[in-house]
Amino acid sequence: MTRRSPARNARLIYAGVALASGGIAFYVPLMLSMVGLAHSGAWPAGILFGTNLGRLLGSHVASRRGAVARRRGVIVGNIVLEGIALFSMAFLDAPWMLVAVATVAGLGSGMSFPGMKNALLRLDGLDPSRAFAGLSMSLRLGMAGGYLAGALVGGDHLVAVFSVL
């Protein structure tokens, strides 16, 4: 990390995690309802499955390649991969393409999260239990904010939603 204070770096990690989890919570209900209306209910389940399969595969890869996964550039690259995949979902119509791209987004998420946790643990002077509690709270706050924002935005604005994410 940089020479900034460990507490500041921890807050930056927490903010990133809150934004990521908020983004997922923001788009999932909107995306699934739109796909469910246009296609069968199996496709929304497929999108959720693809997202979580990607996260599972990403976590597996990150656990096998821990030295690589904790590099700052790799973490940022995986976050960018997730962001590009999420953005491209706004322009896809075929449900099978949404499943495939959701899997790629999950892969980026699954590979970046262990690296962020590792970066958090490497910060000097932070109590690990307090750091993980802050990480958990940032996940939950992001999700709550994302669900609330998703409730306030209509499904007709998916391009705007994914552009913000």
Once rounded to an integer, what is the mean pLDDT over residues 62-69?
Answer: 83
pLDDT higher than 80, residue 18:
yes
Q: Are the C-beta atoms of residues 158 and 35 closer than 8 Å to each other?
A: no
Per-domain residue ranges for the chain? 7-152
Predicted local distance difference test score (pLDDT) of residue 98:
92
- The pair of structure tokens assigned to 85 is 């995949």
156-86-38 Cα angle (round to 5): 40
pLDDT higher than 90, residue 96:
yes
pTM of this prediction exceeds 0.75? yes
- The pLDDT confidence band at residue 157, using thresholds 50, 70 and 90, is low
